[in-house]
């Protein structure tokens, strides 16, 4: 009998191992690692588990088995979903003061990217990260997450998506990397 999971919205749906594998592969995990983690989750998940519980387990395993995928997933959640996970409990400064996040997932901002100006700001952040010694592999993972965030944004008009992709590709070219190519027209 299929196990049920509870989404953040409260909606209940069947656990979907393939959906979990796709999410990890989209974050940059090798397929064999994604399949391994998804099998682990499927064997451990209890009926009625929350997607936040599953997400924390997946992130813990990705951190060990595919660190760049872990980085890309958490970065995508922050820039595209306005969501941050803190496993160890930390304080962060948010626009309205301090917020203790504990060991859970919190929405800290609006969901989704809406403009090329936001993307430009994130690229400046990535440039600073490079200056402070963040590895190029991590920057590459974050760029891919940002690119996917732009493509999947429902709040961003097509013209803004086009501008954003040009900004991202200019950044990649400045680092000597090939630009991303669209596989289908923007929507």
Position with higher pLDDT, 36 vs 68: 36
Most confident of 6-10, 11-15, 75-79, 131-135: 11-15
pLDDT digits (tens, 9 = 90+) for 142-154: 899 899 889 988 8
Give the per-residue pLDDT at 62: 92
Q: What is the pLDDT of residue 181?
A: 94
The fraction of the chain above a pLDDT of 70, given in percent, is 85
Mean pLDDT (whole number) for 48-70: 89
* Element containing residue 44 per DSSP (H, E): helix 31-44
Give yes or no for residue 119 having a pLDDT over 60.
Answer: yes
Cα distance between residue 130 and residue 175, in whole Å = 10
Distance CA 22, CA 67 (A): 17
Judge whether residue 124 has pLDDT over 50: yes
pLDDT at 95: 47
Q: Where are the domains of the chain?
A: 4-69, 116-174
What the block records as the tokens of 117 is 């100006």
* Phi-psi group of 161: left, alpha or beta (phi > 0 → left; psi -120 to 50 → alpha; rest → beta): alpha
Mean pLDDT of 39-52: 90
146 within 8 A of 168, measured Cβ to Cβ: yes
Query: In what order do the strands lie in the sheet containing 49-50?
Result: 12-14, 4-6, 49-50
pLDDT at 123: 93
pLDDT of residue 100: 43
In the predicted structure, residue 16 carries a pLDDT above the cut 70: yes
């Amino acid at each position: 009998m299929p196990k049920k999971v509870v989404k953040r919205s409260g909606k209940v749906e069947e656990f979907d191992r393939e959906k979990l594998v796709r999410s990890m592969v989209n974050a940059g995990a090798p397929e064999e690692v994604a399949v391994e983690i998804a099998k682990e989750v499927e064997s451990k998940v209890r009926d009625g588990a929350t997607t936040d519980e599953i997400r924390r387990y997946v992130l813990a395993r990705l951190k060990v088995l595919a660190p760049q995928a872990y980085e890309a997933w958490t970065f995508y959640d922050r820039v595209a979903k306005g969501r941050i996970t803190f496993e160890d409990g930390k304080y962060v400064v948010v626009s309205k003061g301090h917020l203790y996040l504990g060991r859970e997932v919190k929405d800290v901002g609006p969901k989704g990217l809406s403009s090329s100006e936001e993307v430009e700001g994130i690229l400046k952040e990535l440039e600073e990260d490079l200056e402070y010694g963040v590895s190029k592999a991590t920057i590459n993972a974050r760029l891919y997450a940002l690119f996917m965030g732009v493509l999947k944004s429902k709040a961003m008009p097509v013209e803004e998506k086009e501008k954003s992709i040009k900004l991202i590709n200019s950044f990649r070219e400045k680092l000597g990397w090939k630009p991303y190519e669209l596989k289908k027209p923007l929507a």
